[in-house]
Amino acid sequence: MQINEKLKEVYANLPRGSKKLIVEESGLSHKTVYNFLNGEDCSFKTFIQMNKAIIKVRKKIQASIEECENNLNG
């Protein structure tokens, strides 16, 4: 699978509001994040920043989901 297709898949699987969190984590503009997530070309530096930010956001979301599940179960 090519990177652009994979990015679109990742973006589609993120919950609502994730783009804002990615913007905050990466320090990039909304437009840059939007372009990146829609598969447009970017610099290598931007690519690295975005990947790090997406990993952090996904971890935060996962932790939030686990916390909610624990509250419901316990």
- Sort 35 into a burial class: Cβ within 10 Å, 0-12 / 13-18 / 19+: middle
Q: Could you read off the pLDDT of 10-35 as tens digits, one per residue?
A: 777 788 888 899 999 999 999 999 88
pLDDT of residue 26: 92
Give the domain extent around 26. 3-73
Could you tell me the two tokens for 50? 């975005």
Q: What is the pTM of this model?
A: 0.78
Question: Which pLDDT band, with edges at 50, 70 and 90, does 38 fall under?
Answer: confident
Count of residues for the chain?
74
Number of domains in the chain: 1
The DSSP string of 5-56 is HHHHHHHHHSPTTHHHHHHHHH---HHHHHHHHTT----HHHHHHHHHHHHH
* Average pLDDT of span 56-68: 89
Tokens 């509001």 correspond to 17
